Amino acid sequence: MQQPFIIATAGHIDHGKTTLIKALTTIQTDTAPEEKKRGLTINLGFAYLDLADGTRAGIIDVPGHERFVKNMLAGAIGVDLGLLVIDANEGVMPQTVEHIDILTLLGVKHFIIVLTKVDGLDQDLLELVHLDVEEFIQNTPLEGSPIIETDALKDIGLNELKETIENFSTQIKRASTQLPARLNVDRSFHVKGIGTIVTGTLLDGQLSLEDEVYVYPADGQSTVRSIQIHEQQQTAAYPGNRTALNLTHVKREEVPRGSVISHVPLSKTYMLDVKLTALPTNDEPIRFWDRVHLYSGTTEILARVVPLEEDVLPGTSRFAQLRLEEPLYIRKGDRFIIRQFSPLKTLGGGQVIDAHPVKHASADEELLTSFQIKESGSVDKQLMDLLNQPQQFFLTKEAIVDTLHVPVDSLEQSLKKALKKKWVVSVGEYYIARQVYDELQQQMIELLDAYHEEHPHHKGMPLETFRAQMDYLPLVGVNHLIDHLVQKGRALNKNNQLTSGNFVVILTKKQQKLHEAIVKKLEEDGINPPTIKEVFPKEKDDQVVFEWMKDEGELYQLDRDTVVLTSAYQQAKDQVVNYLMKQETIELAECRDLLATNRKAALRLLDELDRQKVTMRTENGRTLHPNYQRERD
């Protein structure tokens, strides 16, 4: 059995599309009372065709009337094979042409041309119709497509048509099941006792029972309670399946046509970079800021066109940016159609090459090269193009898959190759281009140099301040870059302060003498010095020496107003600890006598030792903190 695929009809009104489907499948796709009354298809109709090899192909019957092209577009998503239906008595008609244009722009590559109502038709006339059709499809994607003569009411040509469809089924290539599952909703309804049902063609990935899914634009979550494919219950759905899902925790009105069901969270976008093709039959070029109707998936919104090279002349393809008037949930590689704002007329369509771009006004050579890679480059090239884009720092594998919309195994092969060739650096779960990695390191050095220039007497930049300056990067990435700079000797990390590798603080002779005097004074005072303001008045040199001594680790701050020499603090701490190792407890008065100081200084020291969990209060004074005691042991 071949993989599932989708067939869509195309053709002018009353050319026999619905009758042909009923003859092939026995399924009547016109089910609405108004459709039966008027004898024409208004909305989408659905059927399936069982082929000899066991494949069950989904069939979408689209309306042929010009007024219902919007409905036709909603059904054309995910189509693999187009049946171009032409009434042999009338030949090619205007809506036939527009349907061909739409299916071609949506990327349909396989067509069968079906001539209908041939019973009783003069053979000479039939040959003329053949010639007209062959001339019509010359130099189009349909050139060379098989032409099958049929009459649904007389059972003429139906077996030949089925065999031709089966032959095409071997040529269909579906999306990878490794991509996250995604379904564009073309119908939703409520069944009493069951709940909300949505239908659509599964574009990517695989959906299974009990899968958790995201619902957009409702921005909700749901669970797949049941799956039905062609009226049969299934445990899973695959790309190309016409799929009905019974969803929990969501109301029918929350998932109208145009909604998207996804396995993974999707980000909305208001801009798209695209390759836009203008139909050769257009009267005018597509120009800057033209307002158009944009059809993507099963959604219709308004947008403005920004050609990035030049106006898109009839019959040409150019890169452009679409500015959307409403948010859209879409992926790279998705197809779209644009129609004139008024009167409605199909102008062209194309493919999304970047679903979340930055704003462009025009395209330079570098940007055009990037566009070409995004449009048709290998996964290797697309990976490096993405990682070298501005602001694309430290991306996870999942984020890269989401952006490039490529299978996981293909990406993993490219990442493995890029790592081996040292084009890419891996940091935990993140990946970054080597060139960008090196540029970020240089930015870090420049940041440190700027800090040293502004604070020439500070030993280094506080680590947390430095990290805050780099908060646009994940913390693991910042830490990795810092460690690499330190490892290479380009930076130093001492006492949680970062210093450029070649930076040293040099005191002037005056400041050196001041430093000597302060050290002498603090040595005399021990753990009972004057306040910081008294030791270091607000004179510039005093403050320079103060910051320098802190950076060098010469000062220990006991409280907001008091600093002592680190050596004095360590000596006093050792005295208290040694005392407690022998006596188990120490009272304030005993500490005062032990250190030969006053009550205030002893209390200040003991409070600091409590904060550092060296000691702890008890009813009888202080004892060694259990944690500190364990560390010593």
- 3-state secondary structure (DSSP) of residue 604: helix
Mean pLDDT, the chain, rounded, equals 89
Domain 5-171: state its class.
alpha beta
- Whole-model pTM? 0.78
Distances (CA, A) of 489 to 308, 475, 480: 46, 21, 14
Domain 268-361 has CATH 1.10.390.10: no
Q: Which of 353, 357, 389, 393 is nearest to 373 (CA)?
A: 353
Mean pLDDT over 313-318 rounds to: 96
| pLDDT 10s digits, 98-153 | 888 888 888 889 999 999 999 989 898 999 999 999 998 998 889 999 999 999 99
Q: Which of these ranges, 69-78, 100-109, 359-368, 602-611, has the smallest mean pLDDT?
A: 69-78
Cα–Cα distances in Å, from 507 out to 498, 511, 541? 19, 6, 9
For the 182-262 domain, the top CATH level (class) is mainly beta
pLDDT at res. 83: 92
Identify the weakest region by mean pLDDT among 55-64, 316-325, 355-364, 372-381: 55-64
Residues above pLDDT 70, as percent of the chain: 94
Would you tell me which CATH number, out of the four given (1.10.357.10, 1.10.10.10, 3.20.20.70, 3.20.20.150), belongs to the domain 509-631?
Answer: 1.10.10.10
pLDDT of residue 35: 33
What pLDDT is stored for residue 116 in this prediction? 94
Whole-number pLDDT of residue 127:
92
Give residue for tokens 């008890």.
Answer: 618
Least reliable range by pLDDT among 29-43, 214-228, 438-452, 580-594: 29-43
> What local confidence, expressed as pLDDT, does residue 2 receive?
55
From the list 572, 353, 544, the residue with the least C-alpha distance to 455 is 544
Which residue has tokens 């989408």? 44
Span 386-506 CATH architecture: Orthogonal Bundle (1.10)
Q: Which residues of 240-266 are buried (b: 16+ CB within 10 A; e: fewer)?
A: bbbbbbbbeebeeebbebbbbbbbeeb
Examine the pLDDT at 437 and tell me if it is beyond 50.
yes
Measured between alpha carbons, how far is 186 from 198 in angstroms, rounded to an integer? 8
The predicted structure's pLDDT at residue 70: 65
Q: How confident is the model at residue 17 (pLDDT cuts 50, 70, 90)?
A: confident
* Greater pLDDT, 111 or 544: 111
Q: Is the pLDDT of residue 517 over 70?
A: yes
**The tokens of 621 are what?**
């004074």
Name the CA dihedral angle for 45, 51, 55, 58, rounded to a multiple of 10 degrees: -10
Determine whether 140 is exposed, middle or buried from the number of CB atoms within 10 Å of its CB (0-12, 13-18, 19+).
middle
Burial of 452 (0-12, 13-18, 19+ CB in 10 A): buried
| pLDDT tens-digit series, residues 160-172 | 999 999 988 878 7
Cis peptide leading into residue 217 (ω within 30°): yes
Is residue 33 scored above 60 in pLDDT?
A: no
Query: Hey, what are 208's tokens?
Result: 């299974």
pLDDT for the residue numbered 302 = 97
Give the separation between CA 611 and CA 631, rounded to whole angstroms: 16
Task: Map out the domains of the chain as residue ranges.
Answer: 5-171, 182-262, 268-361, 386-506, 509-631
Peptide linkage before 343 cis (omega within 30 of 0) = yes
DSSP letter (8 states) at residue 254: G
Instruction: Please tell me the least confidently modeled range out of 29-38, 349-358, 366-375, 541-550.
Output: 29-38
% of the chain surpassing 90 pLDDT? 64
Residue 41, pLDDT > 50, answer no
Residue 545 reports pLDDT greater than 60: yes
| Count of beta carbons in the 10 Å neighbourhood of residue 338 | 26
d(Cα 413, Cα 379) in Å, to the nearest integer? 9
Flag whether pLDDT at 68 surpasses 60.
no
Q: What is the mean pLDDT of the segment spanning 324-330?
A: 96
Residue 75: band (very low, low, confident or very high) from pLDDT cuts 50, 70, 90: low
Lowest mean pLDDT among 3-17, 196-210, 431-445, 468-482: 3-17
259-282: pLDDT as tens digits: 999 999 999 999 999 999 999 999
pLDDT at 15 over 70: yes
Tens-digit pLDDT profile for residues 553-578: 899 999 989 999 999 999 999 999 99
pLDDT at residue 44, as a whole number = 66
> Which of 33-47, 65-79, 269-283, 552-566 has the highest mean predicted lDDT (pLDDT)?
269-283
Rounded to an integer, what distance in angstroms lies between the CA atom of residue 615 and that of residue 127? 105
The contacts of residue 299 (CB under 8 Å, 6+ apart) are: 184, 258, 328
Q: Nearest-5° angle of CA 519, CA 523, CA 525?
A: 120
pLDDT confidence bin for 225, thresholds 50/70/90: very high
Question: Same CATH fold, 386-506 and 268-361?
Answer: no
Q: Do residues 417 and 431 touch, judged by C-beta distance below 8 A? A: no
pLDDT (average), residues 368-386: 95
Chain segment 459-495, per-residue pLDDT in tens: 789 999 999 999 999 999 999 999 999 999 999 998 8
Letter for the amino acid at 469?
Q
What is the residue type of 230?
H
> Strand pairing partners for 189?
197
> Could you tell me which residues come within 8 angstroms of residue 219 by beta carbon, excluding any fewer than 6 positions away?
none
Q: Residue with structure tokens 């093709």?
A: 277
Which segments of 459-587 does DSSP mark as H helices, in order? 463-469, 475-487, 509-525, 532-535, 540-551, 566-583
492 conformational bin, left if phi > 0, alpha if psi -120 to 50, beta if neither:
beta
Distance of alpha carbon 31 from the chain centroid: 40
